[in-house]
Amino acid sequence: MIRRDFIKAVPASLFLTGFPNLGFTKTNKDGRLIVINLEGGMDGLCAVPPLGDTALRSARRDLLINDNLSLNPFFGLHPSLKSFGEMLANDEATVIHATAFPYTKRSHFEGQNIVETGVVTPFSSKTGWLGRAMELAGVGGRSLSLDTPLLVRGDMAVEAYYPSNMRGSAVPNMEILEVLKSIYEGDALETTEVLQQQLAASRNAPRVRDPEGLATFAGKKMQEAHGPKVAVIRVNQFDTHANQGTEEGLQAEQLEVVDNVFAALKSGLGKMWNSTVVMTVTEFGRTLGQNGSAGTDHGYGSACMIAGGLLENAGIVSDWPGLKSNNLYEGRDLLATIDMRSVCAASLEATFGLEHDEISEKVFLDKRIKRIYNEIFT
C-alpha cells in the first residue's frame, strides 16, 4: 500500500510514489529508483558524442561541439553535463550508448507509450513497467494525485483523490488528511501519524516548479524514513528539429536542465544517494545527419545516463555499431544494440532486489530480455 504526491510544472513535472506501508513490502532492499523521462527524443549523439567515429563529423558539420568533456579516447560528453561528468569521475555514473526501447516507427505518441508500458506493441497495455515492478516488489497501492503517469500504473485498482483547491498548489490541507484517514481505515495508527507528518512536510514543497527545485524536493522526501521509494521526473523540449545548437542552443539548455536535476537529486538525497539509482529514458534518438533547419529528426538509438551510489564503476557500456551508412538503421539512424528494457531490468534488480527472470516475465512480459546487471552495476 502506498501514498503518492503529484506535483506538476512546466517544463518539468514530478511524481513521487512507493511510500512504504510500514512493514508490508516484499522486497528486502531499501533502494530508491528515480526515472527522468526526457520527452521529445533526446539526441544521444549530442549528449555523448562518439568522437572516435569519423562519420560523425562529416554528417554533422554545423552541429559539432568542439568543447566536449573527455570520457575516454572514443566518447566525449556535452559541456552542459558538468555535474554528471563529475559523477562519472567519481565512479557514481555510467552511460549506456546505442540503446533504445524496441520501437522503430519514430512516433512520439507511440514511442512514449512504449517507454512507459515497456511492451513491444504500442497501446496494448494499460499498465506501466514501473507500476508492475512495484507490485511485484510489494509496494503498490493507493494514490493521492491529480493524474497517475502510465509508467507507474499497475494492475491493482487505485483510489485517487485530488481536491479542486489543490490545483496548482503543492500544499495539502486538512481536507486531504481526513480523506486519507478514511482510505487507510483499519491500518495501524502510526500509518495515519506518518500521513500527517508527510502532509505537514509538503508545505515545504517548491512554489516555483523548476526542474531543479522539483528534484531537490524529491531527494529530500525520498531520504525520509517513511518517504517514497520511486520518483518520475519529466523534462520535455528534446524534439530539436530546428536550431538544435552546439555548445549553446536548445539542446545545450535542455541538457543543462538534466544536469541540474542530477546534481539536485544527489544533494537532496543526502546519504540515501548511496542506495539510489537515477536513470534517463527517452522515446528515441535523433538522426545521424543534420536536416536543412540546423536540427535533427526522429531516429532510433540514443544514450541512457545512469547515476547513483549503487553503481560501483563508472564508464561507457556499449556494443558500438558504427556510424557508416551500412551500419545505420535504415541508412539514417544510430542502431540500438542494447535493449533499454535490459537497462531498466538491471536498475530494478539493483534497487528492489528482484530476480532478473521474474522481471523479464512479469514486468516486461518477455522472457527473452538479456541480463546486463553485471555490466552496469559491478
- Contact between residue 210 and residue 11 where contact means Cβ atoms under 8 Å apart: no
Full set of structural domains in the chain with CATH = 5-154+206-377 (3.40.720)
Tell which phi-psi region holds residue 200, choosing left (phi > 0), alpha (psi between -120 and 50) or beta.
alpha
Q: What span, in angstroms and rounded, lies between the C-alpha atoms of 14 and 237?
A: 16
Instruction: Supply the pLDDT for residue 188.
Output: 45
Strands 302-307 and 93-100: antiparallel
DSSP 163: -
pLDDT in tens, 16-33: 787 665 544 455 578 999
pLDDT in tens, 51-99: 999 999 999 999 999 999 999 999 999 999 999 999 999 999 999 999 9
C-alpha cell at 165: 483547491
Whether residue 50 is predicted with pLDDT greater than 50 in this model: the reply is: yes
pTM for the full predicted model = 0.85
